[in-house]
Amino acid sequence: MRPAESETTYFLKDRTTFIRYYFDEAAKPFVDIHERIDAGTSPFEPYGDPEDGEPLYQAEWEGAEIAIALIGQTCVSLLADSLKLYLNTWRQREFRFAFDKHEDKLAAREGFVAAYRAAFSDIFGPRWSQCAVRFDIIDQVVLARNRSQHGDSLLSMRARHDRKTLDKHPLPFFARPAEVQAWVPRDDLFGSYLAPPLRISRETLWAAIGEIEAWAEWLDANVEHAWSWPTLSVEDDPKPPR
C-alpha cells in the first residue's frame, strides 16, 4: 500500500512541477533558434560560401545557448531553495528536533544537506541506510545553486564549477565529461573562466528533481519510525541551518 503523501511533500512537488514547466516554457524560443539555424529556415537562411569563415549565425547560436544555460541555472537555484524550505518545514511540522553541535558544524562547513543527513541518521537509525537516494546529485544541486548565485568572473555569463567542487565531485553531474577531462587547474585570473561550465540540461534537471522527490517520498513512508525521537517545543527549536 502506497503511503499517504504529506502536505509538506505535496507543496514540494507543486514547486518541482512548476520548475519543470518553467524550464520547458522559458527555453522554447531559444531551442527554436537552434533548430532554425540547424535547418536553415527563416530568418536564418544560408548565405555566402559555407566554407568561408566561422559558421553562419554563430553569435545567434551562442546567444541562445547562453540563454538556455541561464534558464537552467535559475531552475537549479529554485530547486535548491525548494529543497531547503521543504526540509525546514518538514522538521518543524512533522516533528521538531534540534541539531547537535556536530550537525551545526556540518551545516556551516558542508551545507544544510549534510546536516540533515547526519540528523536523519540519528533519528532513523539503521533504517536510514535503506534510503536509496543519490545524495551526490542532491549535494551538487546546492553547489550549482551557489555557483549560479555567486559568480566570480566578469568574462562569462555562464556559471562554472570551482576547484573545491571538482575536488569533491571529480565527475560532476552538471558537466560534460570531455570538458572536465580537459580542464587543468589554475590559480590565476583565468582559472575560474577556464573551468568546466555548469551544464544543466533538461535531462539532468529532471533527474535531480527525481532524486529530491524520492527523498521526500522516503521520509513520508518512514516518518512513523521517527515518532519516538525526542521532540522540542517551537520555542526551544533553533533556527534552521544556513
Is 1 inside any structural domain? no
Residue 58 has a CB neighbour count (10 Å cut-off) of: 11
Is 233 inside any structural domain? no
Is 242 inside any structural domain? no
Domain count, the chain: 1
Nearest to 242 by CA among 82, 9, 84, 74: 84
Is 236 inside any structural domain? no
Give the range among 11-15, 44-48, 141-145, 214-218 with minimum mean pLDDT: 44-48
Collapsing DSSP to helix, strand or coil, 193 comes out as coil
pLDDT band at residue 223 under the 50/70/90 scheme = confident
Range of the domain at 14: 7-226
Whether 221 contacts 92, CB under 8 Å = no
Is 238 inside any structural domain? no
Reported as a single tens digit per residue, the pLDDT across 11-54 is 999 999 999 999 999 999 999 999 999 999 999 998 876 667 77
User: Could you identify the residue written with the cell 527555453?
Assistant: 27
Whether 77 contacts 145, CB under 8 Å = yes
Is 195 inside any structural domain? yes
Is 215 inside any structural domain? yes
pTM of the full structure: 0.87
Is 241 inside any structural domain? no
Q: Is the pLDDT of residue 241 over 80?
A: no
**Which DSSP letter does residue 41 get?**
-
Distance, in Å, from the CA atom of 79 to the CA atom of 105, rounded to the nearest integer, reads: 24
